Amino acid sequence: MRVLLYVEGDTEEAALPDFFGRWLVGKGTGLEIKAVNFKGVGGYLREFSKRAKRDLRGTYTQGIIGLIDLFGSRLSFPTGSASEKYSWAKNELEQKVGDQRFRQHFAVHETEARLLSGENLFPQPIDARLPKTPPEGINFQHPPGMLLQNLYSTHLDRNYGKVIDGTELFQKLDPMSPTIAART
């Protein structure tokens, strides 16, 4: 049996099946996670509903988890807090599929926010300069990917590679690790 992970980009496709798979191994589920990359949030929003209905017709797919970034999703959010926008968007996209086996989730800003919760993942010059706030505290004007790009270019004299660096960092991240709030 498998669970499909619908994602918007290459970093999520490369890093997240292994990350979530390590979490599932500890649960003894025997489920396989397979990523489906929609090549951008635009492609995701155009195709996810039709694709989910088709994928859920078969007996091999146990369920589907949709995951996109809330930051930059281009959804027509009502005004409100990040939490209110999250709830609205989750409900909106799940209704488009109309099947309880599809669950939509969002990285509040970007998938990299989860990396900010890990301990000792980054090279020391970066780790020492990470904000000591929960990843959700990073604002929409300076999301985690931008923060990492700035830190890498300033302190390591190179760019932060979302796919290469992100995948390597997710391989080191314990899916059961405490959040950064526990580090403060």
Residues 6+ apart with CB under 8 A from 70: 82, 85, 86, 89, 106, 107, 108, 109
Residues 84 and 46 in one domain: yes
> Is the pLDDT assigned to residue 178 strictly greater than 60?
no
* Number of domain units in the chain: 2
> Is the pLDDT assigned to residue 96 strictly greater than 90?
yes
**Which of 90, 107, 124 is the last residue in one of the domains?**
107
Q: How confident is the model at residue 9, as a pLDDT? A: 92
Top-confidence residue, 154 or 85 = 154
pTM for this entry:
0.82
Please check whether residue 65 is in contact with residue 5, taking contact to mean a CB–CB distance below 8 angstroms.
yes
Share of the chain above pLDDT 90, in %: 51
> Is the pLDDT assigned to residue 139 strictly greater than 70?
no
For residue 100, give the 3-state DSSP assignment: coil
Residues 121 and 102 in one domain: no
Residues 85 and 51 in one domain: yes
Q: How confident is the model at residue 135, as a pLDDT? A: 63
Q: How confident is the model at residue 58, as a pLDDT? A: 80
Please name which of 70, 183, 84 lies closest in space to residue 130, comparing C-alpha atoms: 183
Residues 6+ apart with CB under 8 A from 27: none
- The residue range of the domain holding 92 is 2-107
> Is the pLDDT assigned to residue 76 strictly greater than 70?
yes
Please name which of 66, 172, 56 lies closest in space to residue 115, comparing C-alpha atoms: 172
> Is the pLDDT assigned to residue 100 strictly greater than 90?
yes
Q: For residues 47 and 45, what is the distance between their CA atoms, to the nearest angstrom? A: 6
**Which of 107, 128, 156 is the last residue in one of the domains?**
107
Residues 102 and 118 in one domain: no
Predicted confidence band of residue 181 (pLDDT cuts 50, 70, 90): very low
Predicted confidence band of residue 182 (pLDDT cuts 50, 70, 90): very low
Q: What is the CATH number of the domain that holds 73?
A: 3.40.50
